[in-house]
Amino acid sequence: MLAKEGSSHGCGSWIPHASGTSSAREMLEVRPGLYLGGAAAVAEPDHLKEAGISAVLTVDSEPGFKEGAGFEGLRSLFVPALDKPETDLLSHLDRCVAFISQARSEGRAVLVHCHAGISRSVAIVTAFLMKTDRLTFEKAYENLQTIKPEAKMNEGFEYQLKLYQAMGYEVDTSSAIYKQYRLQKVTEKYPLQNLPQELFAVDPTTISQGLKDEVLYKCRKCRRSLFRSSSILDHNEGSRPIAFAHKRMTPSFMLATGNQAQCTSYFIEPVQWMESTLLGVMDGQLLCPKCSAKLGSFNWYGEQCSCGRWITPAFQIHKNRVDEMKMLPVLGSQTRKL
């Protein structure tokens, strides 16, 4: 479906070599019909038209085109983003990749640009190559740097693209990987005056219907429902001495499947009943909202699991303070002790 693009906008090699227009000097064709560039590439919309580009993805602090600029038939997408490691590109990747794919499938040539054409646009195009060519982050980035040696995304974007790979080239907002990433983003804004509501898992006492195969965790002392198995953020077991040296989480840690026999705590996402406890303080105890039994602790800067792994931020519940109850899907909220 991409086969016919080449003929619609001329031979791919003339763009990087031409020197007649500013846009030509600022654009590089990295795949047939896929261009990478900086702000100068969109300075003269007519030049885009001449180059056969009819779709533009701007990932910059400002839109690529002023109000009313551009030209008839031009399709554009603007993703506001600063070139900083803490900028969240991950949440926009699906939208960006879909925009590029859609445009190309219609035979449009696409320009992805940021300000300098070095970091933000490179990250987006790398994600696109990863997904369409099923490449690892390293391979896709290397491939792009071969074509554009000065391409250099910041380390925050590198990290996010590794998470993108770990999620299978699609941002799964219900995955432990994404939840942990989102929690880290919130932590960067510490001190926290308020927390976005979507950060919290719904209190299991407010939902009557259980999902199939879900396990419910209840306070051992008073039986209050505390969290569901879908809130557990799994991690690979650390080995104590090494784990001490690596406080920062790596994506491999997040691809957790290993047995966690050594772990004496569950690390979970925040649940609604924790909200008032978590605000305005860096760390503290987590108490049962009904009987005030001590369940565990939290720390926005992270805590170490008994297996040695650091988890940031950390909301941990000691396994011996809760009981696992299997949800019975037919009977809704009824549970059976495991």
For residue 337, the surrounding DSSP H or E stretch is: strand 335-337
Q: Is 221 in the site for Zn ion (CB under 5 A)?
A: yes
Report angle CA 220, 218, 280 to the nearest 5 degrees: 100
Q: Is 30 in the site for Zn ion (CB under 5 A)?
A: no
Dihedrals phi, psi of 61, to nearest 5 degrees? -75, -20
Q: Which of 268, 288, 322, 325 is close enough to bind Zn ion by CB under 5 A?
A: 288
CB closer to Zn ion out of 124 and 219:
219
CB closer to Zn ion out of 27 and 219:
219
Which part of the chain contacts Zn ion (CB under 5 A), choosing from 32-40, 220-228, 296-304, 312-320? 220-228
CB of 187 to Zn ion, least distance (A): 19
The torsion of the CA quartet 95, 81, 85, 192, rounded to 10 degrees, works out to -100
Is the CB of residue 43 less than 8 Å from the CB of residue 7?
no
**CB within 8 Å of 247: residues ≥ 6 apart:** 302, 310, 312
Q: Which residue type is seen at 319?
A: K
Please state, in angstroms and rounded to a whole number, the distance separating the CA atoms of residues 123 and 24: 21
Q: Which of 127, 271, 286, 307 is close enough to bind Zn ion by CB under 5 A?
A: 307
The catalytically annotated residue of 96, 114, 219, 263 is 114
Is the CB of residue 117 less than 8 Å from the CB of residue 26?
yes
Which part of the chain contacts Zn ion (CB under 5 A), choosing from 103-111, 171-179, 190-198, 287-295? 287-295
What is the rounded end-to-end Cα distance, in angstroms, of the chain?
52
CB of 290 to Zn ion, least distance (A): 5
CB closer to Zn ion out of 195 and 293:
293
Is the CB of residue 63 less than 8 Å from the CB of residue 81?
no
291 is catalytic: no
CB closer to Zn ion out of 88 and 203:
203
Query: What binding mask, one character per residue, do residues 173-212 give for Zn ion by CB under 5 A, x or -?
Result: ----------------------------------------
Please state, in angstroms and rounded to a whole number, the distance separating the CA atoms of residues 201 and 232: 10
Q: Which of 152, 185, 290, 319 is close enough to bind Zn ion by CB under 5 A?
A: 290
Q: Is 293 in the site for Zn ion (CB under 5 A)?
A: yes
CB closer to Zn ion out of 169 and 310:
310
CB closer to Zn ion out of 71 and 244:
244
CB of 263 to Zn ion, least distance (A): 3
Q: Which of 11, 222, 242, 328 is close enough to bind Zn ion by CB under 5 A?
A: 222
Dihedrals phi, psi of 212, to nearest 5 degrees? -60, 140
Query: What binding mask, one character per residue, do residues 247-266 give for Zn ion by CB under 5 A, x or -?
Result: ----------------x---
CB of 321 to Zn ion, least distance (A): 9
Q: Is 305 in the site for Zn ion (CB under 5 A)?
A: yes
**CB within 8 Å of 64: residues ≥ 6 apart:** 39, 42, 56, 58, 76, 78, 113
**CB within 8 Å of 125: residues ≥ 6 apart:** 30, 34, 36, 112, 144
User: Active-site positions?
Assistant: 114
Binding site for Zn ion (CB under 5 A): 219, 221-222, 224, 263, 288, 290-291, 293, 305, 307, 309
